[in-house]
């Protein structure tokens, strides 16, 4: 079962085209959405949430995202760059407001998250640091027990300690109910290596890669070789290559096959960032 099904979603702006995006978010999974700034990650999320008019279809929790928008959003937790929370409210006042929005608002859960995050209940949001504001947005997004979280760059600009705290909250959210899902946009690929089940890579408005995170980290490899060695590798056996003055680096999706076929003994294990850079900067 899929929590989100996105089919042929497109959106045109001056100088940018989100081009027939299609992917799924399975129930119980965390899907990481990656790409350069301006690649289309935020546009994709806004299209899913029906914040912008777009072509194509989006199904969320088995319902049409446009026709059933009001019903769907009761079961969504959303964190965007703009929190839509007044800077002149306190966390305690926010809880009073959210009770009117969500019949499932859990004040005890909210208070528990505020304590866990070290957020003062009576302090104005305008006096919070960027890390505190992000923690507050996440606490608000989770405290009505949503079935789906959609998060746009929730760890951007935060220090590693705070980022780890937030990633732990996401893990707990999934572990509490295996039918829940998260769609998480981030340019911090190391975070996604630790938490995501699947990666969707967008470049220049197109999806160039969709795969399980474990497959990317375990099956892919980077071959470092001479020009002569590179000339022996068939084009069908690699994805992209990069060359420097003294060597070639070759990205393959099947490192074991490359080892056997070309008797190559040394292949480096790539990070998701390495894979992303090969797709963006490499040659074919």
Q: Are residues 52 and 132 in the same domain?
A: yes
Amino acid 94: pLDDT: 93
pLDDT at 81 over 80: no
- Same domain assignment for residues 104 and 46: yes
- Give me the domain span that covers residue 231: 220-281
Rounded to an integer, the average pLDDT of 22-46 is 95
Query: Last residue of a domain, which of 196, 215, 234?
Result: 215
pLDDT of 82 higher than 80: no
Residues 209 and 118 in one domain: yes
Is 15 in the same domain as 56? yes
The count of structural domains within the chain is 2
Q: What is the pLDDT of residue 58?
A: 97
Whether residue 250 is found in the same domain as residue 264: yes
pLDDT tens track for 226-253:
888 899 999 999 999 999 878 999 999 9
Query: Do 225 and 205 fall into the same domain?
Result: no
Is pLDDT above 90 for 92?
Answer: yes
pLDDT at 112: 92
Residue 207 pLDDT > 70, yes or no?
yes
**What pLDDT band is residue 140 in, cutting at 50, 70 and 90?**
very high
CATH of the domain at 57: 3.40.50.300
Residues 176 and 230 in one domain: no
94-125 pLDDT, tens digit per residue, is: 999 998 889 899 999 999 999 988 999 999 99
Q: Any idea which of 63-72, 149-158, 267-276 has the lowest mean pLDDT?
A: 149-158
- Is residue 204 over pLDDT 90? yes
Q: Do 167 and 277 have their domain in common? A: no
Residue 83 pLDDT > 70: no
Measured CA to CA, the distance from residue 95 to residue 73 in angstroms comes to 18
Mean pLDDT of all residues in 184-210? 94
Q: Residues 100, 224: one domain?
A: no
Judgement on whether residues 260 and 204 belong to the same structural domain of the protein = no
């Amino acid at each position: 079962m899929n929590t989100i099904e996105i089919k042929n979603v497109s959106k045109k702006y001056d100088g940018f085209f989100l081009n027939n995006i299609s992917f799924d978010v399975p129930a119980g999974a965390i899907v990481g959405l990656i790409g350069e700034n301006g690649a289309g990650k935020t546009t994709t999320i806004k299209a899913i949430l029906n914040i912008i008019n777009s072509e194509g279809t989006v199904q969320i929790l088995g319902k049409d995202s446009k026709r059933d928008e009001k019903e769907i959003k009761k079961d969504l937790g959303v964190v965007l760059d703009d929190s839509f929370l007044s800077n002149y409210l306190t966390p305690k006042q926010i809880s009073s407001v959210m009770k009117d929005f969500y019949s499932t608002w859990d004040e005890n859960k909210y208070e528990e998250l505020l304590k866990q995050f070290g957020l003062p209940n009576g302090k104005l949001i305008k006096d919070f640091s960027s890390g505190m504001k992000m923690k507050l947005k996440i606490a608000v997004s989770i405290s009505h027990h949503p079935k789906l979280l959609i998060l746009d760059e929730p760890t951007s600009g935060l220090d590693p300690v705070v980022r780890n705290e937030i990633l732990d909250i996401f893990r707990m959210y999934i572990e509490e109910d295996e039918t829940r899902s998260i769609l998480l946009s981030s340019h911090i690929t190391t975070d996604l290596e630790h938490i995501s089940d699947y990666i969707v890579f967008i470049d220049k408005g197109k999806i160039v890669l969709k795969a399980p995170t474990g497959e990317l980290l375990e099956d892919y490899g980077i071959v470092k070789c001479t020009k002569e060695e590179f000339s022996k590798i068939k084009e069908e056996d690699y994805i992209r290559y990069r060359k420097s003055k003294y060597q070639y680096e070759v990205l393959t999706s099947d490192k074991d096959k490359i080892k056997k076929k070309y008797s190559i003994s040394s292949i480096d294990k790539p990070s998701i960032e390495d894979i992303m850079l090969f797709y963006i900067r490499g040659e074919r």
